[in-house]
Amino acid sequence: MKLAQLAELVGGKLIGRSDREINGVSQVDLVRPDEVTFIADRKYLSLLEGKDPAAVLVGEQIEQISCPQVIVADPYMAALQLAGEFAPHECPPPGIDKTAVVHQTATIHETATVSALCVVEAGASVGAHTVLMPQVYVGPDAGIGEGCTLHPGTRIGERCVLGDRVTCHHNVSIGSDGFGYAQIDGAHVPIPQRGIVVVEDDVDIGAGSCVDRATFGRTIIGAGTKIDNLVQVAHNCIIGKRCLLVSQVGLAGSVTIGDDSIMAARAAAVPHARIGKKCIVGAMAAVRKDLPDGSIVGGVPAKDHMAWKREIVALDKLPQALKDLRRLSRRVEELEKGRDEGG
Amino acid sequence: MKLAQLAELVGGKLIGRSDREINGVSQVDLVRPDEVTFIADRKYLSLLEGKDPAAVLVGEQIEQISCPQVIVADPYMAALQLAGEFAPHECPPPGIDKTAVVHQTATIHETATVSALCVVEAGASVGAHTVLMPQVYVGPDAGIGEGCTLHPGTRIGERCVLGDRVTCHHNVSIGSDGFGYAQIDGAHVPIPQRGIVVVEDDVDIGAGSCVDRATFGRTIIGAGTKIDNLVQVAHNCIIGKRCLLVSQVGLAGSVTIGDDSIMAARAAAVPHARIGKKCIVGAMAAVRKDLPDGSIVGGVPAKDHMAWKREIVALDKLPQALKDLRRLSRRVEELEKGRDEGG
Amino acid sequence: MKLAQLAELVGGKLIGRSDREINGVSQVDLVRPDEVTFIADRKYLSLLEGKDPAAVLVGEQIEQISCPQVIVADPYMAALQLAGEFAPHECPPPGIDKTAVVHQTATIHETATVSALCVVEAGASVGAHTVLMPQVYVGPDAGIGEGCTLHPGTRIGERCVLGDRVTCHHNVSIGSDGFGYAQIDGAHVPIPQRGIVVVEDDVDIGAGSCVDRATFGRTIIGAGTKIDNLVQVAHNCIIGKRCLLVSQVGLAGSVTIGDDSIMAARAAAVPHARIGKKCIVGAMAAVRKDLPDGSIVGGVPAKDHMAWKREIVALDKLPQALKDLRRLSRRVEELEKGRDEGG
């Protein structure tokens, strides 16, 4: 694509020569001479040093940039649009691959795709326009809604239910057994885990993440919730709608989270913790007590994030404070000695 | 199933009408009109508000519950029994699926199941009544005992050995190479990892968990130990019998853990740490030193859990204490000034 | 193998009887009568108690050892050599297994191995002497270099690029979508992730680890970098050459790490953090700010490791210090009272 074409495509105004051939979009750190990049914030301008991009997408002309510029309303959105142009996403054609193993009692919608080496067990169903990429497993009586995409290695356990437009990335586990044991004569005897997982509409689940089936009843991931990679959701958790669970989050059994809450990276919660709506649990924080709606917390154990920040600052000063305390103690001793001698 | 039938099944006494149709068991938060639930502890009674379960399993009659009640000795166990009734676990029939790829030198017991799209490599063996669910990999010369269940995506590396009644959940990795490198001229040169993993009898391993093979010799998971999801066990670890490793635990190389110890969620231990028998390492705690039998520890680095709790409490008071210290310092200054002026 | 043979093999001097049959090498804790072990450091001598190894590899004769000894220049290296002898690594023969599903437009080098039940999609390429073990997925237009080994369950997303001699262990995910959403009317709308992952030469990636594709441009793992199990590398990260990322490390989006840096077990970094060259980020540390070259940090948030160690020590003393502070306050009160009464 020539630069002139590209500028037209994003509805931008081109400043500079227009004939360079462009083959892609890149973040500014890595941009090559045949790629465009974008500057959404001038603080990243220094990253352009030594680079020779074909052009830079900008919100307004930037004097310091010597290469061609394309002025657009939103450089980030324009870059996204171009990324889609250079690497369009192609949906595989519908149909059941001849190497897939689909039980005769399974129901596959005629517009669905079941790719190579998938297994769909007895009684399972796959909805319209859903794509099972290669090597996916759908267990007995599991139900997959419409418009879902299950990436290679996704495992859906028996009887689990996915709504519409659910995406599971590489090697996701839905409906593995919860970690429940009864101690009998010193041994850990497994408690049967016979509930299911319900993943509601518009949920994304990241690579390697695990959502365990309920002991009884349902583990629920609410509609519109997005889960990052390597997240653990234990049995009987009930996650609200439109929550974000960032990478490596760990939720113990029976945790409930209200709608629109965020668990930042590697945040955690103990069994049965009840986290309200619109809460923000900071990265690496560990929730030990119920949180009311709107809570913002940090730390281990989690506390109000302002209190936690004060703690962080105080901790920094602690080694010096201990020295000060010892010195003060000696001064008081001196004063006491003076008083006693004076008395 | 009618409620009367259900009450008889669990040997309970029914209070209330008996004709509602029941289709399942659920945790109380989510119970539907066609499901039963249970109350094992009155503190969860408030969760029943606004719910209309077909019946509640209780240990003794509870006045505040208006729907039918079934009085049983142990409501939780009764609920478990019913969950099994509503969703019975069906074992797949024995035999080797025609899409499985089994090497001619592998030994598959005639009562074992090798499901669709499994791979069993040369010299491997699969014991009586063991079930390989679809898409499992068993490497060369690996040995799987009797009565095991390997869920879809389980990978057993070459020469690794599983005892009897071992369960591996979705996408478990047994016998991947340990993380060992020699620094040679600034490069990280891999140290060959030629040992194996031995998983003893009655071990469960959760979805996505990884147990690396030993550099030489054996990484061992002791009999009856249960491992949750997304746990990392590095090369040459020796885990005792009947231990619990809860979700996201991470053990560095050559850690040893005695029998009957518990690593709570996301606990960790440094290389070569020796943790005794019947120890409890609290959630998120990091073991840096050897722990004698019976230790109970928490924190980073891990210390006696009472000391750690005192520390948590003290930390809460720290910001105020620093203010107090500054104020006290000024008061001492005043006193010193008074003394010096007085002197 | 007889012990005499073994001693000759490692170029060692045998002390003791030479006729025992030897079947393997083991770490000292577990060594059996038909195995040899090694003592590289006398502090591990006590582990030999009660053991009866066929022989011990030592650097110099050790009086306290009663069983045969083999004196070698480097006992650890000799043990490694023997481990390779007892369990030689066999490369599978080249060729495409008849159960593999390889698109007609994919390019497989004639010396490459594509094992059972692999999928190689349209336009993908697999280089010379590369081994795809069973059940691997290589997405459309992905490029795998020469001499790579992809273990069972590895998933390579579309258009991602692996250099030469790259190893991916069980269930690795390369090129899953990054976790990027735009908040539109309260919903989380996925931002298309159309960039790729570039894994340079001589990189190892551990079991279950995930490297997400860039939003645009490239997520990069630099040449010679080694990644352990269950590590998360988010979209647009740029990892330098010869870095080590130990188990359970988590890197948020757009983190950059300079050459020769180490992230110890479960270390983490916030989005856009820039970590310099030759840095060491301690186990469980959380990098919140950019780090200059050569930084050594620990703690949450990460600070200079000496400051962090002082903090750890101070924290230990904190509960007592708070008591001391209260006592001191009372003593100052007494002094003030004395002054006021005296005045």
Q: Which CATH number fits domain A3-86: 3.40.50.720, 3.40.1390.10, 3.90.45.10, 3.40.1830.10?
A: 3.40.1390.10
Please tell me if the domain spanning B3-86 has the same topology as the one spanning B95-304: no
Judge whether residue A336 has pLDDT over 60. Answer: yes
Chain-chain contact of C119 with A246 (C-beta, under 8 angstroms): no
* Interchain proximity B171–A155, CB inside 8 Å: yes
Mean pLDDT of A90-104: 95
Q: Identify the H or E element spanning A106.
A: none
Which residues, listed in sequence order, are joined to residue B219 by a DSSP beta bridge?
B197
| Nearest CA among B252, B250, B251, B199 for reference residue B226 | B199
Provide the pLDDT confidence category of residue B343 given band limits of 50, 70 and 90. Answer: low
| Residue to substitute from B137, B216, B325, B326, interface C, most C β-carbons within 10 A | B216
Contact state of A247 with C250 under an 8 Å Cβ cutoff: yes
**Which of C160, C168, C179 is best to mutate for the A interface (most A CBs within 10 A)?**
C179
Instruction: Provide, for chain A, the percentages of residues in helix, strand and coil under a 3-state DSSP scheme, each rounded to the nearest 5.
Output: 20, 30, 50
Distance between CA atoms of residues A279 and A273, nearest Å? 13
The residue-averaged pLDDT of C47-72 equals 93
- pLDDT tens across B286-311, in order? 999 999 999 999 999 999 999 999 99
The predicted-structure confidence for B17-66, as pLDDT tens digits, reads as follows: 888 889 999 999 899 999 999 998 898 899 999 999 999 999 999 999 99
Query: If we measure between CA atoms, which residue out of B277, C230, C181 comes closest to residue A229?
Result: C230
Residue ranges of the domains in chain B? 3-86, 95-304, 312-343
Q: Are C52 and C45 in contact (CB under 8 A)?
A: no
Q: Where are the beta strands (DSSP E) in A45-99?
A: 55-58, 69-71, 95-96
What does the pLDDT average to over A52-63?
Answer: 94
Please answer yes or no on whether A176 and B29 come within 8 Å at the CB atom: no
Q: Report the DSSP beta bridge partners of residue A337.
A: none
What is the tens place of the pLDDT at every residue in B260-279? 999 999 999 999 999 999 99
| Residue C208 with chain B: CB contacts under 8 Å | 171, 173, 208, 210, 230
Give the pair of three-digit tokens for residue B65: 């519950």
pTM of the model as a whole: 0.95
- Inter-CA distances, B206 with A212, B147, B167, B169, B230, Å: 10, 17, 8, 5, 7
**Among all residues of chain C, which has the CA nearest to that of A35?**
C217
Question: Mean pLDDT, to the nearest integer, of C165-184?
Answer: 96
Exposure of B301 by Cβ count < 10 A (0-12 exposed, 13-18 middle, 19+ buried)? Answer: middle
Do A152 and C119 lie within an 8 Å CB cutoff?
yes
More confident residue, C338 or B145: B145
For residues C135, C138, C143, C146, the Cα torsion angle rounded to the nearest 10 degrees is 0
Contact A128, A165 (CB under 8 A): no
User: For C207, which of B210, B301, B331 is closest by C-beta distance?
Assistant: B210
State whether C212 and A207 contact (CB < 8 Å).
yes
Confidence of residue C89 (pLDDT cuts 50, 70, 90): confident
C272 noted as active-site residue: no
Q: What is the pLDDT of residue B89?
A: 84
- B341 band by pLDDT with thresholds 50, 70 and 90: confident
Mean pLDDT in residue range C90-101: 95
CA C28 to chain centre: 24
Chains that touch A (3 or more CB pairs under 8 A): B, C
Average pLDDT, chain C: 95
Whether the Cβ atoms of residue B307 and residue C318 lie closer than 8 Å to each other: no
- Residue numbers in B near C25 (CB within 8 A): 194, 216-217
Distance from CA of A184 to the nearest CA of C (A): 30
Which CATH entry fits the domain spanning C95-304: 2.160.10.10, 3.30.450.20, 3.20.20.70, 3.30.43.10? Answer: 2.160.10.10
Q: Is A324 within 8 Å of B329 when comparing Cβ atoms?
A: yes
| Nearest Cα residue in chain A from C209 | A208
Q: Which residues contact A152 (CB under 8 A, 6 or more apart)?
A: A133, A134, A135, A136, A170, A171, C119, C137, C139, C155
A244 to chain C: nearest residue by CA?
A: C188
Which chains sit next to C, with 3 or more Cβ pairs under 8 A? A, B
Task: Give A113's contacts in chain C (Cβ within 8 Å).
Answer: none
Looking at B129, B151, B169, B235, which residue is catalytic? Answer: B235
Residues 6+ apart with CB under 8 A from B333: none
Q: Which residues of A touch C303 (CB under 8 A)?
A: 316
